[in-house]
Amino acid sequence: MENTTNTTNTQTSPRFLVAGKECIYRLFDAFLKKVVIDDCAIDFSKPATIAEDGSIEFASGEMRFSEILGVDANAARGANVRQPTRGRNESDQEYAKRIALWQKAQKKELAQAKAADAPQVGKIEDPEKYRVALGNYLNGKVTDVSKEAMDCMNLALAHLSWLRLLGMADRKTSCAMASKSLDIKENWMKNLDGYNVKDGLWTVKSSSSKNDILLEAAILYRFMTWPNRPVFKSVAEVKSALVDFIFKTKKENAAPIRNGLLHFCDPDRYIGIYSFEKKSEFVKSHEALLQDYKVSDFSGFREQDSLFFSMKFAKGLNLAPYQANRTEEKICYIFDKMNARAAG
């Protein structure tokens, strides 16, 4: 069982935050800051910098992160632009005219932005074909693409591998084989005094790296192409919004990276247990503590049943199914009961 002990549980600390591992959480925040808010690839060959508040900033690469995931550059730019809403007393003709003017202005703005950022835009000529090739490549299939496209795919793989390994104990956080393919020496950790790249939050005995990476790519792609995506002002806003995408994306994929990402996004609500089986086992082994448990949002959870990832287990395991926030809320309730009993 990972991280059901050695956690802090005070009013000022998230419920499941692992004490002494703050650098790992800050690295996750730095990753989201660079790839989502800045929409920029990370240059893992350069040391990250540390701000006065302790936050970490990765060095910027030459490409947009959305582009190496196969997102059209202009589509990525327009993803967070909301179409004007219709006024209460506005006629069809007036609204159509205003929308036409708005669309014209957006076109002009995108053209100007593309011209200003020419070195970073348009390196991938056909994003749709590239995305298909990237999916095949991440799935272990042979792909016949140009060297430039292969370098982009290896750069995407470098980010996804690094993110997957970040929370794993006794496994070096790195870009894995993508470093060799890109011929880069990783120096991102050089300024992180006292940080051990093999430090982690959970022990993973066995996990399919392919399934984890494919799910990561799908989650981030869907998030980056979210229609009317809001303009995020902070990493906290990104993490709050990302949770739904972690649960909704590729519901048939049971890759345990979902649990790792959930914990990173909200360590107060999602425990640092990497496997769904162990989460359900935790609930089953402490079900006596659930006698007074009441669902906090019955209608909300019922809606999530069809939208969020769930997992059924073999009958021999004698475990209730994992059901997204239903299971997660029970874990929180049990954990709080256990800590209250220990304190009393």
Q: Residues 251-302: pLDDT tens digits?
A: 999 999 999 999 999 999 999 999 999 999 999 999 999 999 999 989 999 9
164/24 Cα distance (integer angstroms) = 12
Q: Rounded to the nearest 5 degrees, what angle is found at the Cα of 96, between the Cα atoms of 92 and 98? A: 120
Per-residue pLDDT at 161 exceeds 60? yes
Beta strands (DSSP E) in 181-275 are none
Contact, 68 vs 156, CB < 8 A? yes
At 251, which amino acid appears? K
In sequence order, the 6+-apart residues with CB closer than 8 A to the CB of 319 are 277, 280, 281, 284, 313
Least confident of 103-107, 185-189, 205-209, 287-291: 103-107
Cα separation, 312 vs 327, in Å, equals 12
Mean pLDDT of the chain: 87
**Which of 75-84, 113-122, 253-262 has the highest mean predicted lDDT (pLDDT)?**
253-262
Handedness of CA 62, 65, 71, 76 (dihedral sign): negative
Instruction: Check if the beta carbon of residue 6 is closer than 8 Å to that of residue 17.
Output: no
pLDDT > 90? residue 112: no
289 vs 114: CA distance, rounded Å: 58
Q: What is the pLDDT of residue 99?
A: 72
Q: How many helices (H) and strands (E) does the chain have?
A: 13, 4
In sign, the C-alpha dihedral spanning 177, 178, 180, 181 is positive
